[in-house]
Amino acid sequence: MKGRLLSFTLFGESHGMAVGVLIEGLPPGIEVNVEELRGELQRRKGIPRFSTKRREDDEPVILSGVFNGFTTGTPVAVMVWNGDVDSSYYEEIWHTPRPGHADYPAGIKYFGYNDYRGGGHFSGRLTVGAVIAGYFAKKLLEREGIHLRAYIKRIGRVECPEVTPEAVFSSENPYCPHAESFEMMVEEMERARAEGDSVGGVVEAIALNVPPGLGGPWDEDIEADIASALFRIPAVKGVEFGLGLGFAEKRGSEANDPFVIRNGKILTETNNHGGVLGGITTGMPLVVRAAFKPTPSIYLPQRTVDLAKMEETGLRLRGRFDSCIVPKALPVVEAVVAFVLADHLLRRKAWEGVVM
Which residues span the domain enclosing 117?
7-352
Is the pLDDT reported for residue 53 higher than 80?
no
Instruction: Spell out the residues 6+ positions from residue 182 whose beta carbon is closer than 8 angstroms to its own.
Output: 152, 160, 173, 175, 176
User: Does residue 78 fall inside a structural domain?
Assistant: yes
- Check pLDDT > 70 for residue 246: yes
Identify whether 264 is part of a domain.
Answer: yes
Is the pLDDT at 46 greater than 70, yes or no?
A: yes
pLDDT class for 85, splitting at 50, 70, 90? confident
Residue 1 lies in a domain: no
Cβ distance 129 to 11 under 8 Å?
A: yes
Count of domains forming the chain: 1
- Mean pLDDT of all residues belonging to the chain: 95
Q: Is the pLDDT of residue 243 over 90?
A: yes
Contact between 183 and 163 under an 8 Å Cβ cutoff? The reply is no
Q: What is the pLDDT of residues 55-70, one digit of tens each?
A: 788 999 999 999 999 9
Q: What is the DSSP string of 167-185?
A: HHHH-S-SS-S-HHHHHHH
| CATH at 96 | 3.60.150.10
H or E stretch including 22? Answer: strand 18-24
Report if residue 2 sits inside a domain.
no
Q: At what angle do helices 34-43 and 326-352 cross, to 10 degrees?
A: 130
Question: Does residue 321 fall inside a structural domain?
Answer: yes
pLDDT value for 356:
63
pLDDT tens-digit profile of 155-211? 999 999 999 999 999 999 999 999 999 999 999 999 999 999 999 999 999 999 999
Looking at residue 153, its pLDDT comes to: 98
Average pLDDT for 77-100: 89
Residue 24: the pLDDT is 98
